[in-house]
Amino acid sequence: MDGMREVVGLLGSTSIGSQIGVVVLGPLDRMKSAAASDVLLKTLEDFDAESVLPVLWAYDAGDVRGTIRSRSMEIWCPHGSNLYAGLEDTALLLCQGALKKDWMSIIDVFKEPSNKGKHRELLAACAEVLSGAARRGTGWQNLWLSVRRALQHTNLSKNEALAALMEVH
C-alpha cells in the first residue's frame, strides 16, 4: 500500500519545467491488493492530465481490473518485437491446426528437426499471433487462454505445449 501512496503522490505532482511528466506503473495484472487497485482507480479518475502521463503496463491486459482498463487507452506492445522472428508462420500453422483440431499437423510441427527444443518459443510465438487475433475478435479466445495458461510454466515441455494447443473447446 505504501507503493500506491507514492504513485498517488507522483500522479498528483507537477513536472519540472515545461515537459509533461511520465509515471510508469506495472505490471498491473500482478496487482494482488484490492485496496491498492481501488486507490489506483480513484487516482486515475482525478489526476491532472496536463502535468503527468501515467503509462500503465501488464503482461496480460485481460487480467487487469476492468474499471482500470476502461479508463486507459489499450495499446499492444509485444515485449521483444523480433523475439520470435522466423516463427510467425509456424505459429500461425500451429494455431490453425489447433482450431481445426488437426492434431497430426501440430505433432508434425513439433517433430520437425528445426523446431527441436523450441517448444516454449513456438508456444510464445503462438501467443503473439493469438493475442492479436483475440483483440480483433476472431474467435480464437479459447485457444489464447490455453496458450496463456501453458506459458505461465517456466520450463515448458513438448507435452505441455502440445496439451495447450489441444485444449481448445
Tens digits of residue pLDDT in 22-58: 778 888 888 878 888 888 888 888 777 777 788 888 8
Confidence band of 14 (pLDDT split at 50, 70, 90): low
Does the structure show a pLDDT above 80 at 65?
yes
- Ranking 16-20, 55-59, 88-92, 93-97 by mean pLDDT, the lowest is 16-20
The full DSSP string for 15-73 is -SSSSPEEEEE--GGG---HHHHHHHHHHHHHS-TTTEEEEE--S-GGGS-HHHHTTS-
Q: Which residue has the higher pLDDT, 134 or 69?
A: 69
Report the mean per-residue pLDDT for the chain. Answer: 76
Confidence band of 113 (pLDDT split at 50, 70, 90): very high
* Percent composition of the chain: helix, strand, coil (DSSP 3-state, to 5): 55, 5, 35
| Cell 485457444, located at residue | 143
Does the structure show a pLDDT above 70 at 17?
no
pLDDT of residue 134: 56
> Rounded mean pLDDT of 83-91?
78
pTM of the predicted structure, to 2 decimals? 0.47
